[in-house]
Amino acid sequence: MAKVDPFTRENIAQGLIAAAEEMFLTWGRTSQSTIIYEVLDYACGLTDARGNLIAQANGVTGFLGAITYSVISTLEKFGPENLKPGDIILTNDPFTGSGTHLCDVSAVLPIFYDGELVAFAANKGHWNEIGGKNLGSWSTNATEIYQEGLQFPVIKIYEEGKLNEAVRDMIAANCRTPDMTLGDLYAQTASLRIAEKRVLELFDKYGKDAVMESIETLLENGRKLALKELAKIPKGTFEAESYIDANANGLGDVYIKVKVTITDDSFVVDLSESGNQIAAPINCTRFGAYSAGRIIYHALLNPDAEPNEGFYSPLKVVVREGSVFAAVRPAPVSTNWEALSHITDLVAKALAPVIPERITAGHFLSIIGTILAGIEDGTGQPFVLCEPQAGGWGAGYNKDGENGLVAIADGETYMIPVEVAEYKYPIIVEQYAFNLNTGAGKFRGGCGLIRDYRLLNSNAELTTIVSRHRIPPWGFAGGKDGSPNVVEIHPADGSEPIIGATFSNYPMRKGDLVRFISGCGGGYGDPLERPVDKVWQDVKDEYITIETAAREYGVIIDPVTLEVDREKTEKLREEMSRQN
């Protein structure tokens, strides 16, 4: 018989989740850095004394593994016996647990109750500037991690409450914006202390045994939920392969492959047959692969589940050291989101045919990381437009794909309004509209976006990193593929546009126009099964042309009256389905 009644236990569990959320809000509120409080590129969580994730609050998906492995790397380096109240450990080491790239810094605070280590509060977020060869620290053409900024190899920034001033001064000396970077550090660590306070309040109010029992129940419930969902999924091994086609540093495509094996109590993602790491920053480390595994596992099993170790316990991610998904030093990793995103997509593609009710067709996937930077003519001040793009999502068994939505690696991420962009940067946005090359299907893929920037400044440099440039998002169950991501530069002099994917510091001049075309999502099901009325509505709404209606969907619509010729349509559809 439980010592605590189930309702109190649940209240305590909710209190722990609320502590993680409050840490998240506090950091957002106290940060001086836009990438934290606007882009929400950070995460906060609590683990038990062994590093098992109890609760996590996220602004984007990419940090799902970060809390767990940051704490575990802390325990591995110091051992619990060398952690003291008031310590805060800093790590951004992608190869030992922090997981993503150097800009993302994890901080870990051990929580003690009555002298005993009972839990950890940990968080991780994107620092604007951490040194390295490029302003903003990430680049699309690094060849070694040493070009990507300052490294914190699991170090104590606070020892028993005392700030390590030597480390602080080194940070200040190695970053281009020392005030802001140190501001990030203080906001991040202060939010850890809020979580510590809330957790200790729960211990004080309910007693240690009750809290420990609640944590156990919470993890147990997470595992129960996962097993329940696994029971509903077909068992077996499922495979998919593709390429990361960003062509970074001109190194061409990287082959990637997954084998997913599902049993009653395990979900194994084996990536070991994927290609080798390359001397371009698209690699991820094994910890990035673990995070990616969690994202897609979470999505497939139960998107509403609370993120905790119990829920993730059936998941195992297998990688091969030195591969693009488990890069080792000195591989550059600053645009690791490319590898991470492709893992989620490979698993989705492998499982889509067997669990179509749990996954939608391929989406534009690459976040199309973009930097447009230069010195403004009028003021002589630097400007840096740094943003992801949104694109088209895939169709599913019961819905069309979404039009213009950020990629899986993003989350509560907002596109910059046109009116704000034109005020802040010397550009005119000439259009922000749908890309209509959607994947046909019984359910149609979602529209990508077209965003045009015309440069008003005498010159600027463009940097982009884009995959899914050659290989479009996949359709399934008879649905057609979507369309790829493309970046076009239209020179002011009217000469031929330059069409590509990854650009590094490409020089632009006044009047040049850069067009970002994000891909459209893949379709689901046979396009000939799409109800004629829906095809007609798509034509009426100009999501598809009259020609596309005939060619892909076999629906004949009169260009003048916009009426469907039912008879001809029936004939054409019959003929098309015979040919298939």
Partner 1 sequence: MSLRIAIDIGGTFTDFVCLNEETGQVIDEKAHTTPENFANGVINAIEKTGIDLAQTVYFVHGTTVVINAVTERKGAKTALVTTKGFRDVLEIGRANRPDLYNYFYKKPRPFVPRHLRFEVDERLNYKGEVLKSVSEEEVVEVARKIKKEGVAAVAVCLLHSYANPEHERLVGRILARELPGVEITISSDLIKEWREYERTSTTVLNAYVKPAATRYLDTLQERLEEMGLKVEPHAMLSNGGTATFARSKEVPITLIESGPVGGVIGAAALGKIIGEDNLITFDIGGTTAKTSLISRGEVKITTDYKLEWTPKYAGYPVKTPIVDIIEIGAGGGSIAWIDDVGVLKVGPQSAGADPGPACYGLGGTEPTLTDANLIAGRIDPNSFLGGEFKVNLDLARKAMEPIARHFGISIEEAALGVIKTANNNMLNALKLISVRRGYDPRDFVMVAMGGNGAVHGPFLAAELKVGKLIVPNMPATFSAWGMLMTDLRQDFIQTQIMPVIGCDLDRVNAIYQEMEQEALAVYEKQGISPEDIVFVRTADLRYIGQEHTVRTPVGNGIIREEDLITIRKAFDRNHHQQYTFSLDYAPAEFVNFNLTAFGMVKKPEMKKMPPAGSLHDALKGERVIDFDEHGRLMSKVYARGMLGPGHKIQGPAAIEEPKSVTILYPGQTLEVDDYGNLIIYTGV
Q: Please report, as ranges, the residues that interact with partner 1 according to CB under 8 A.
A: 5-8, 10-11, 14, 18, 22, 25, 29-30, 32, 34, 37-38, 58, 60-61, 183, 190, 221, 224-225, 228, 295, 298-299, 303-304, 348, 358-360, 390, 393-394, 396, 398-399, 402-406, 410-415, 417-420, 422-423, 428-434, 449, 452, 540-543
Q: Which residues contact 132 (CB under 8 A, 6 or more apart)?
A: 102, 138, 139, 142, 147, 148, 149, 150, 334
- Give buried/exposed letters for 250-289 (b at 16+ CB in 10 A, else e): eeebbebbbbbbbeeeebbbbbeebbebbebbbbbbbbbb
**Nearest approach, Cβ of residue 303 and partner 1 (Å):** 4
Report the candidate in 97, 121, 161 with the shortest Cα–Cα distance to residue 27: 121
Residue-level length of the chain: 580
Nearer to partner 1, 228 or 509 (CB): 228
Nearer to partner 1, 440 or 449 (CB): 449
Smallest gap from Cβ 183 to partner 1, in A, equals 8
Q: How far is the CB of 417 from partner 1 (least distance, A)?
A: 4
Measured over the CA atoms of residue 148, residue 150, residue 154 and residue 160, the dihedral's sign is negative
Find the shortest distance in angstroms from Cβ 77 to partner 1.
Answer: 30
Q: How far is CA 150 from CA 89, 92, 143, 511, 555, in A?
A: 16, 9, 16, 37, 59
**Rounded CA Rg of the chain:** 25
Pair 309, 52: CB distance under 8 Å: yes
- Measured from the CB atom, is 428 or 471 closer to partner 1? 428
Beta strands 369-375 and 382-387, pairing class:
antiparallel
Smallest distance from the beta carbon of 280 to partner 1, in angstroms?
27
Alpha carbon separation from 341 to 37, 282, 408, 409, 558 (Å, rounded):
23, 10, 7, 6, 42
Instruction: Output 10 or 159, the one with its CB closest to partner 1.
Output: 10
Tell me which DSSP letter residue 433 carries: E
For the bound state, the minimum distance from the C-beta of residue 14 to partner 1, rounded and expressed in Å, comes to 6
Write down the least CB distance from residue 537 to partner 1, Å: 9
Could you give the strand order of the β-sheet that contains 267-270, starting from the edge strand earlier in sequence? 236-244, 254-262, 267-270, 315-318
Question: Phi and psi for 571 in degrees, rounded to 5?
Answer: -60, -50
Least Cα distance to 408 among 561, 303, 308 occurs for 303
Q: Which is nearer to partner 1, 429 or 471 (CB)?
A: 429
Task: Specify the residue, 222 or 554, whose C-beta has the smaller distance to partner 1.
Answer: 222
Q: Which is nearer to partner 1, 5 or 547 (CB)?
A: 5
CB of 302 to partner 1, least distance (A): 8
Tell me the closest approach of the beta carbon of residue 446 to partner 1, in angstroms.
9
For 366-479, strand residue ranges (E) read 369-375, 382-387, 427-435, 448-455, 459-465
Cβ nearer to partner 1, comparing 561 with 579: 561
In the complex, what is the shortest distance from the CB of residue 484 to partner 1, in angstroms, rounded to a whole number?
A: 19
- What is the SS3 string spanning 236-275? EEEEEEEEECCCHHHCCCEEEEEEEEECCCCEEEECCCCC
Which pairing describes strands 267-270 and 315-318: parallel, antiparallel, or unpaired? parallel
Compute the least distance from the CB of residue 363 to partner 1, in Å: 8
Q: Which of residues 155 and 182 has its CB atom nearest to partner 1 in the complex?
A: 182
Nearer Cβ to partner 1 (135/429): 429
* DSSP conformation letters of 116-164: EEEEEEEEEEE-S---SSSTTS--SS-SSGGGS-----SEEEEETTEE-
Cβ–Cβ < 8 Å for 199, 46: yes
Across the strands, what pairs with 384?
373
Tell me which residue of 240, 296, 242 sits closest to 267, measured CA to CA. Answer: 296
For the bound state, the minimum distance from the C-beta of residue 139 to partner 1, rounded and expressed in Å, comes to: 22
SS3 (DSSP) at 168? helix
Give 255 or 414: the residue with its C-beta nearer to partner 1. Answer: 414
Nearer Cβ to partner 1, position 34 or 505?
34
